[in-house]
Structure 1
């Protein structure tokens, strides 16, 4: 005989929340068997109860009083899928203070103020789980948080935003420009009417902060993550990558590196060229993938749908089963691990490689002066390709790894040379080719 029902409150009932309701209803018997007790949905907080939703929600469960719902004495579990900073933060803190265990998909809040949430969960002796906050249905946070807890993760490299991956994939396969493909992505529902959070890298930066925090046991916020979006990526950039056997992807890159005072964390989000032989190069459409490197396990790759109501709800329900079991057994799962407290390196101290396209006068000595400019900034050139265009020429240079500040200074100097008409493309390069 199973234990008495655990009472669940759901905050938000949009594309994810409505799918949570559907899965709770359709899989009720299985969830009961897995948890050891029924999960009873006792309230759903929404802003507009009159809206039509993807899943039927009994009208008597809907409420606009989210604060009152999480304050109920009989609520054991809370799922937050509202998003944003407030009122989500206040509601999660209130739920924990009231004794509920919490599952959230709120990447922005975790990346901005996760330490406050973890401290509240610790004080309350309750769980805070958040698998759905990064890469939708892909199980990546729990492996970092638990499965690899006995290993030393050295690098996390990922495609964690489906909208930008869809756009860059179409630019690569169709040869289209950014604006054209963005319009298609909006028409298909992959991009919001205001796509800023996606295309300017804010969404990916929040996820990178969470990944870096878990991988390196250090508090990393979104503000610590260097960020560039894809709005400046041109069809010419993508074509140049293709000529080099590469593809352009928006990457979240979190690394353990040697800083001035010992081991440090580097966390960045930016478009980069990667060889088509790299596992991430084959990630198409709106899919996500995360590549993890660790000392003992080696290289691991996690791949799947990174967004969408049903995939994200799957991750939410996975966390719900865990926190519900823990609640029945009066135990807690893994909390925050920030014991390493490493410094986060500024972008200028991070080692990268550049692909630089330079429009120059087509005359003797120009290539030598360009090479001298790189050398003056202690940057070594790996490859150079020259194409003639009448009286002008284009030099395409790929550097070896160097401090990003040195590479940026090289580009600034190149722009000022009298024989340089334009530095028409600057993009970082990841991987060996």
Structure 2
């Protein structure tokens, strides 16, 4: 008997999923045991490029989530509140769920996975992070024997596309963002992407899987790329770095406690680093574990094909597991996280910094800046003055590793010096 699939949404990704399920030749044999039974859409009569019987379309998505005949509900409508309601309805009616919805999992994952465990069903989320890259499966299954030390990645294609073009063309943020919107690489409202919110959703999911605890989204420090300029891109290039928006999750220990350090922000990445060569809309995740060492997964992070590939892979995994073991939950597929992680404040994190200052071109300025940093226990790797124009100069400072709070206190004092015109940019660095 075929497993019956209910699709919630038939947009770009939903259509891609339907096409794979209908075009089975040369794909996994279990696709022959699946049947699209009902499809929830806003407009049933809208022309579509996927061949499905008209009588399976409905505008009543709740009816799909509660239909006793459906085995697996695939949620592809996006958003948070309605998607959460539909997912919970499906779980409470004993259905397995596959979703590509990173926002709903990052915000409501605790409630969703608790309900799924109580009902004995699976919630599969491979497509919620990095599109077609199988990073969820890697963390849950393939790397299960490892102690994960860190997960770091380029998990948002829009920002990587913008920064790549800024680097290659020497352009500034706003005009390149506008072009990205025209080309469809950025949304009309780009806030979630360029302010790092999308990446934070994904890092909440990855950190939870990597370190075995639930993550509160509000605990993740988040900073976007709006402040990056062509001047900073050029400075970085001269020093052997490229600027990327990175999501970072790692263990950290202080004299007081052990915690997780989870954050999203621009980073100057050495050109020798594995993530420095990831360009355009491509995503990449670097995982460091023991005993495996360093592993980098890279590929398309969005789009119909990539995301649909991950969604259907999750459906196949559910069907394969149910065929092999219909009565017991497979712990490598389900979620066992119960406790919330202690997440370190960004003020306590240890970083290297690049800071660009615009100052009056007069004697003693560099010395005053160095003194302020030193008084706050911030040692400097280099300090360079250049781009003198109309009595003003740009100064680029690279610090050694220091506590963020000490750096910020020093910067506050420096900003109050009479010779300082502005402090346009602060970017953290990865060690070379």
User: What TM-score does the superposition give when structure 1 sets the normalisation length?
Assistant: 0.95
Tell me which moved more, 350-359 or 301-310. Answer: 350-359
Which residue pairs with 2:39 in the alignment? 44
1:302-321 paired onto structure 2 within 5 Å? 302-321=297-316
| Contact kept? 1:163, 1:190, Cα under 8 Å | yes
Alignment CA distance shift 1:50-1:122 (3 Å): same
Alignment CA distance shift 1:51-1:194 (3 Å): farther
SS state at 1:343 partner: coil
Tell me which moved more, 277-286 or 420-429. Answer: 420-429
* d(CA) in 1 for partners of 2:259, 2:67: 44
> Are 2:242 and 1:235 equivalent residues in the alignment?
no
> Are 2:408 and 1:411 equivalent residues in the alignment?
no
Partner residue of 1:184 out of 179, 188, 194: 179
Partner residue of 1:157 out of 126, 129, 152: 152
| Contact kept? 2:286, 2:295, Cα under 8 Å | yes
Structure 2 unpaired stretches of 5+ = none
| Contact kept? 1:217, 1:341, Cα under 8 Å | no
Which residue pairs with 2:96 in the alignment? 101
Which residue pairs with 1:204 in the alignment? 199
Partner residue of 2:9 out of 12, 22, 38: 12
| Contact kept? 2:358, 2:395, Cα under 8 Å | yes
* d(CA) in 2 for partners of 1:295, 1:8: 39
Which residue pairs with 1:77 in the alignment? 72
Tell me which moved more, 43-52 or 338-347. Answer: 338-347
| Contact kept? 1:156, 1:292, Cα under 8 Å | yes
User: What TM-score does the superposition give when structure 2 sets the normalisation length?
Assistant: 0.95
SS state at 1:371 partner: helix
| Contact kept? 1:349, 1:405, Cα under 8 Å | yes
SS state at 2:81 partner: coil
How far apart are residue 174 of structure 1 and its match?
0.6
Tell me which moved more, 299-308 or 54-63. Answer: 54-63
How far apart are residue 221 of structure 1 and its match?
2.8
How far apart are residue 197 of structure 1 and its match?
1.0
Which residue pairs with 2:252 in the alignment? 257
How far apart are residue 340 of structure 1 and its match?
6.5
* d(CA) in 1 for partners of 2:50, 2:395: 56
* d(CA) in 2 for partners of 1:137, 1:290: 12
| Contact kept? 2:227, 2:424, Cα under 8 Å | no
Alignment CA distance shift 1:176-1:397 (3 Å): same
> Are 2:380 and 1:381 equivalent residues in the alignment?
yes
1:263-412 paired onto structure 2 within 5 Å? 263-328=258-323, 329-330=325-326, 331-333=328-330, 334-338=333-337, 341-387=340-386, 389=388, 391-412=391-412
How far apart are residue 400 of structure 1 and its match?
1.2
| Contact kept? 1:186, 1:192, Cα under 8 Å | yes
| Contact kept? 1:165, 1:285, Cα under 8 Å | yes
Structure 1 unpaired stretches of 5+ = none
* d(CA) in 2 for partners of 1:170, 1:347: 29
| Contact kept? 2:352, 2:431, Cα under 8 Å | no
Alignment CA distance shift 1:355-1:56 (3 Å): same
Alignment CA distance shift 1:65-1:259 (3 Å): farther
Which residue pairs with 1:133 in the alignment? 128
Which residue pairs with 2:209 in the alignment? 214
How far apart are residue 431 of structure 1 and its match?
3.0
How far apart are residue 261 of structure 1 and its match?
4.3
Post-superposition Cα deviations, 1:94-141, rounded to whole Å, max 9, x if no partner, equal 111111111111100110110111011101111111000000000101
* d(CA) in 2 for partners of 1:188, 1:388: 34
Tell me which moved more, 287-296 or 255-264. Answer: 255-264
| Contact kept? 2:146, 2:289, Cα under 8 Å | yes
* d(CA) in 2 for partners of 1:158, 1:103: 24
Partner residue of 2:219 out of 198, 218, 224: 224
Alignment CA distance shift 1:398-1:52 (3 Å): farther
Tell me which moved more, 49-58 or 294-303. Answer: 49-58
SS state at 2:69 partner: coil
Query: Aligned-pair RMSD on alpha carbons?
Result: 1.6
How far apart are residue 336 of structure 1 and its match?
2.1
| Contact kept? 1:8, 1:76, Cα under 8 Å | yes
Total equivalences in the alignment: 427
How far apart are residue 418 of structure 1 and its match?
1.2
| Contact kept? 2:40, 2:60, Cα under 8 Å | yes
SS state at 1:113 partner: helix
How far apart are residue 363 of structure 1 and its match?
3.3
* d(CA) in 1 for partners of 2:128, 2:105: 8
